[in-house]
Amino acid sequence: MKKIVASGKTIEDAVRNGLKELQVAEDRVEVRVMEQPSKGLFGLIGVKEAKVELTLIPEPEPAAADPVAEVEHFVIEVARTMGLELNITRTQTKEGLMFALSGSGDLGMLIGRRGQTLDALQYLVNIVANRYSDSHLRIILDAEDFRERRRKTLEDLSDRLAGRVIRTRKEVVLEPMSPQERKIIHSQLQDHDKVKTYSKGDEPNRRVVISLKQ
């Protein structure tokens, strides 16, 4: 620990001089009085200044950032820039930590067309979370049960398109989708006895293809 000795006409002056030298506030030091001031003979000769020892108190280590709290703060601030006030409910799922978003305003702004805005925000959220975490975290964002509604829509779409492939005997190429949405379609049709699925193309334009089994 850093220590200095400072002097002054009074104890207070000595402390003040020491703080000025260290450039810190008084709550950052421990003070030990080494010598009291004295006026000397007849109050004129042999005047002795006060002398103090100041020991600098180390600053406390900053608290480790809580990655989940950082994520919540990040999402809430992003929403506020869009004029939205959010409530966040956390649930641990087999896929990761789910953040269910609710609140006032049009949450459709956070979802975007077919969930593209929500997916983009989720991508940023996971970057934030893993910046502060020692182990890998997976955060899933949902708003107004969009994920579940979208999953049901894709499952129904998969079944309808499988029927079309069987009727026309021609493969169907779907629009580009995220890896998560492609996984829903693959899972829905993986045990189908007449059609199969595979993906083709490069991100972000990778697509699911539904075709007849040979």
Q: Kindly list the structural domains of the chain, giving each domain's residue range(s) and its CATH number in brackets, ordered by start.
A: 3-56 (no CATH), 67-144 (3.30.300.20), 149-212 (3.30.1370.50)
Query: Are 150 and 162 within 8 A, CB to CB?
Result: no
Answering whether pTM is above 0.85, one says no
Task: Give the dihedral sign, CA 94/95/99/101.
Answer: negative
In 23-146, DSSP assigns E strands to 29-35, 50-56, 85-93, 96-104, 139-143
Q: What is the DSSP letter of 26?
A: G
CA angle, 69 as apex, 67 and 71 as ends, to 5°? 70
For residue 105, CA distances in Å to 10, 80, 108, 175, 213 come to: 63, 10, 9, 30, 47
pLDDT in tens, the chain (214 residues): 689 999 998 999 999 999 998 888 898 899 999 999 887 655 555 578 899 999 999 877 655 568 889 899 999 999 999 889 999 999 999 889 999 999 877 889 999 988 999 999 999 999 988 888 878 889 999 999 999 999 999 999 999 999 999 999 999 999 999 888 999 999 999 999 999 999 999 988 999 999 999 8
Task: Give the dihedral sign, CA 40/43/46/50.
Answer: positive
Q: How far is residue 98's CA from residue 92's CA, in Å, rounded to a whole number? A: 6
Side-chain-side CA neighbours of residue 9 (13 Å): 0
In whole angstroms, what separates CA 1 from the centre of its chain?
35
